[in-house]
Amino acid sequence: MNGTVITITSGKGGVGKTTATANLGIALASLGQKVVCIDADIGLRNLDVVMGLENRIVYDLVDAVEGRCRLSQAMIRDKRHPSLFLIPAAQSRDKTAIAPSDMVFLCNELRSEVDWIIIDSPAGIERGFRNAIAPANEVLVVTNPEVSAVRDADRIIGLIEAEEKGTAKLVINRLNPEKVKKGDMLSASDVVELLAIPLIGIVPEDEAVLVSINHGYPVVLNERSEAGKAFMNIGRRLLGEEVPWMELDSRKGLFNRIGKLFSGGN
């Protein structure tokens, strides 16, 4: 195997990096890929709870880097997909425990074992971001259709260009089609025009995401969720499939859902 390293980053915190990482990991695993997700946010471990794997952690990323365990011991197998693994962040250390060269070395070892390595970057543009970006073959920038998130995304895109990581691809998360229609939210095309990088996914705002995080059951596993479908579509696009853009008309979505209720759902 010659795995591809994808780093999920954003600049601004709270836009949905960890949610995107967990869901893309599951999407790719359910499409038959062998995947490892790495939580690179050392000191602020989070990906484990979003994936519902918090009770299984024995070793973490820093243990693996510092040689206290074998790499395979730090890889926690997912409950639902045997081809999906998590390497959790260390909780009692900070970002300086790891250098970009450690991440490159670690990912080079993992590349021969898995198809995809998905790195959840910490927010910010400091050491943690540098660690997360160093081994990347591809970078996905997550943003929300909102001024501060778009501005930070632009800054991060510039830094990714400067690191010669090629052109990042854009994930617009939490788009609310109703607010766009009312003129109270930037549209997907506004954001793409401003940031001027290729779009790989639009994830609609969906309360199922919050519920799924409460349960540690990523939303992509919920076939009726629009956000879940959007994450699955990104997974397919990563595999090179041409996936049509989802219809994001909120009213139509609502009528569809009501229609499904009456027809017993499907």
Record the tokens describing residue 122, joined without a space.
């910490």
> Which residues touch 189 (CB under 8 Å, ≥6 apart)?
none
Record the tokens describing residue 79, joined without a space.
């409950």
Sole binder of another protein in the list 113, 138, 161, 163 (CB under 8 A) = 161
60 in Cβ contact with 87 (< 8 Å): yes
Shortest distance (Å) from residue 194 CB to another protein: 5
Shortest distance (Å) from residue 142 CB to another protein: 17
Which segments of 10-168 are extended strands (E)? 35-39, 76-77, 84-87, 116-120, 138-143
Strand partners for 175: 204
User: For residues 182 and 262, which CB has a smaller minimum distance to another protein in the complex?
Assistant: 182
Size of the site for another protein (CB under 8 A): 20
Shortest distance (Å) from residue 155 CB to another protein: 6
Query: Ramachandran region of residue 166, left (φ > 0), alpha (ψ -120 to 50) or beta?
Result: left
User: For residues 198 and 259, which CB has a smaller minimum distance to another protein in the complex?
Assistant: 198
DSSP structure string for 39-66:
E--TTS--HHHHHT-GGG-SS-HHHHHT
Shortest distance (Å) from residue 187 CB to another protein: 7
Site for another protein in 100-159 (CB under 8 A): 146-147, 150-151, 154-155, 157-158
Shortest distance (Å) from residue 151 CB to another protein: 6
Shortest distance (Å) from residue 72 CB to another protein: 41
User: For residues 163 and 190, which CB has a smaller minimum distance to another protein in the complex?
Assistant: 190
User: For residues 197 and 243, which CB has a smaller minimum distance to another protein in the complex?
Assistant: 197
How far lies 246's CA from each of 15, 17, 29, 227, 243, in Å?
A: 21, 21, 22, 10, 9
User: For residues 15 and 220, which CB has a smaller minimum distance to another protein in the complex?
Assistant: 15
Shortest distance (Å) from residue 115 CB to another protein: 30
Site track 167-206 with another protein (rule: CB under 8 A), x = hit: -------------x-xxxxxx--x---x-xx---------
User: For residues 79 and 155, which CB has a smaller minimum distance to another protein in the complex?
Assistant: 155
Residue 220 Cα to chain centre, angstroms: 12
Q: How large is the C-alpha radius of gyration of the chain?
A: 18
User: For residues 47 and 186, which CB has a smaller minimum distance to another protein in the complex?
Assistant: 186
- 232 in contact with another protein (CB under 8 A): no
Query: Ramachandran region of residue 164, left (φ > 0), alpha (ψ -120 to 50) or beta?
Result: left
Q: At what angle do helices 147-162 and 188-195 cross, to 10 degrees?
A: 40
User: For residues 184 and 223, which CB has a smaller minimum distance to another protein in the complex?
Assistant: 184
Interface residues with another protein (CB under 8 A) are 146-147, 150-151, 154-155, 157-158, 161, 180, 182-187, 190, 194, 196-197
